[in-house]
Chain A
Amino acid sequence: MSDPLVRLENVRFAYGERTILRDISLSIPRGKVVAIMGGSGCGKTTLLRLIGGQEKAVGGQVRVDGQDVATLGRDALYAMRRRMGMLFQFGALFTDMTVFDNVAFPLREHTELPAELINDLVLMKLHAVGLRGAARLMPGELSGGMARRVALARTIALDPMLLMYDEPFTGLDPISLGVIGQLIRRLNDALGASSVIVTHDIQESLQIVDYIYFISEGRVVAEGTPDEIRHTTDPFVHQFVHAEVDGPVPFHYPSDDYAAALTGGKA
């Protein structure tokens, strides 16, 4: 197996005093779909921002296609981002442009292609996500699932080597959710790209990904293929997969003694 497309080594990250990632090491092999899972607010999205170079790690290294992201200047970083695609949680479509113009945006910004060719490319991308017929609509006229599919078409407009998905399943009905899941898998294989999905939707992920990392309290606490995850005895993964209320991830936010709080400390 060749070297992985993305490799994180002992990455630490903090927003000011608040430590988000303590010591993360993981890799995303070429051609694979990898899920990064964990509870809300555990730093999953931050991981994507580190890979995309929107944040810089406090410690450790983030390497994408052999390059240390933190050391790249602006031009080199932008050159790298042209080979990456990121799907934002709610699509982040440009609301003042039609669906067509949204998908054409990266092509128009980064290529000198003639309008006819851009037209064909955009229609092909939209066809791939099943929304060629919606090309003339405005983003406000789309449902949540459709908006995300359009955003997906825009993400793959420049045929990226790495696709990043930030919570792609959030707030979708079961049909849209299945559609997005299948599209992520199919597009990854068709483009020969690699994908990272940041999500907490365990059931959908188990069906489409090749490998899963679990993150909790800024560390990788478990990892494995979907089969290994289904049969694991790890208490954290077990709680996560079976959606148990209490376990290694506590129900209560850390607080002082309950009885003392109720009696104003007089007990």
Chain B
Amino acid sequence: MGGLRKLGSVAIEVVWQLGFIARFFWLILVYSGQSFTRLNLTIRELYFSGVLSLLIILVSGLFVGLVLGLQGYEILQRYGSSDSMGTMVALSLLRELGPVVAGLLFASRAGSAVTAEIGLMKVTEQLKAMDMMAVSPIARVVAPRFWGGVISMPLLAAMFSTMGIFGGWLIGVVFIGIDDGAFWSQMQAAVDFRYDVLNGVIKSCAFGVAVSLIAVFQGYDCVPTAEGVSRAITRTVVSSALAILALDFVMTSFMFRGL
């Protein structure tokens, strides 16, 4: 009986939380006007979320590409089709690894920072002070950070994939000696813009919305203590990772059905 009651209370809590996030999301959209009429607010967040994440995204992209190159060659040469390495690297990155790994890195680098910043603003009563000055914290603090994340994410994923393909090329063409022309021409022939590239971009946009929403929500909703902020940051990283992987599965199952 006790277990059943606990299950019920957890279920209610989850539904309540989801409703709260949905309402919060709606408020962000309603108060987004300033994020675009006063572009400097959003550009500042683009810098913090996007530009400052570049290094980790580019380096990780390069390494993922290098590993894909090595593994891909090892497998493809068994079937005598090592020339298709470019295709394999590009498709894996554009469809899956680019958006997903960039999303995970973005959540841990930029999402956690946004949560920490908003959470600490709450702890130090900056959000309350703003509200008392008749300035909506959602319009002034939350929405620009949300949009900064949403815009950064697909750009970062694109750069991740680009660096990955470069890494694959380095291994395949420069170190192993696959024909340069075959590497690129096979890639060009096999990668479809709408089917592969665009679907990858759509995925990264969805991840951007999910991660940014989770990050700003956790910061805004945190218990205003040191422990509360640290828990909120953990929740941002964990929930973002789960959201990205779950969304990826759902979107992949709709997008790529071997048609």
Contact = CB atoms under 8 A, between A and B. Distances in A.
A81 B132 contact: yes
Contacts of A81: 131-134
Nearest to A80: B134
A88 B128 contact: yes
A184 B130 CA distance: 21
A106 B126 CA distance: 13
Contact of B125 (A78, A79, A92, A110): A92
B135 A109 contact: yes
A86 interface: yes
Contacts of B135: 105-106, 109-110
Interface of A: 52, 54, 78-79, 81-82, 84, 86, 88-90, 92-95, 105-106, 109-110, 151
A83 to B, nearest CB: 9
B129 A86 contact: yes
B129 A54 contact: no
B124 interface: yes
A89 B126 CA distance: 11
B132 A86 contact: yes
Contacts of B126: 92-95
A88 B129 contact: yes
A73 to B, nearest CB: 13
Contacts, number: 47
A244 B255 CA distance: 74
Interface in B125-179: 125-126, 128-136, 140
Contact of B133 (A54, A79, A105): A105
Contacts of A88: 125, 128-129
Most buried by A among B126, B128, B133: B133
B134 A54 contact: no
Contacts of B132: 52, 54, 81, 84, 86
16 contacts: A54-B132, A78-B134, A78-B136, A79-B134, A81-B134, A82-B134, A86-B132, A92-B124, A92-B129, A94-B126, A95-B120, A95-B121, A95-B124, A105-B133, A109-B140, A110-B134
A90 B124 contact: yes
A90 B131 CA distance: 16
Contact of A109 (B120, B124, B125, B133): B133
Contacts of B131: 54, 81
A49 B122 CA distance: 16
Nearest to B132: A86
A149 to B, nearest CB: 15
A17 B23 CA distance: 25
A53 to B, nearest CB: 9
A54 B124 CA distance: 17
Which A-B residue pairs are the 7 nearest by beta carbons? A92-B129, A78-B134, A92-B125, A81-B134, A86-B132, A88-B125, A82-B134
Contacts of B130: 94
Contacts of B121: 94-95
B104 to A, nearest CB: 27
B216 to A, nearest CB: 16
Interface in B188-236: none
Contacts of B129: 86, 88, 92, 94, 151
Given A81-B133, A93-B126, A105-B133, 6 more contacts: A81-B134, A84-B132, A95-B124, A106-B135, A109-B134, A110-B135
A106 B133 contact: yes
A258 B75 CA distance: 77
A93 B121 CA distance: 9
Contacts of B124: 90, 92, 95
Contacts of A105: 133, 135
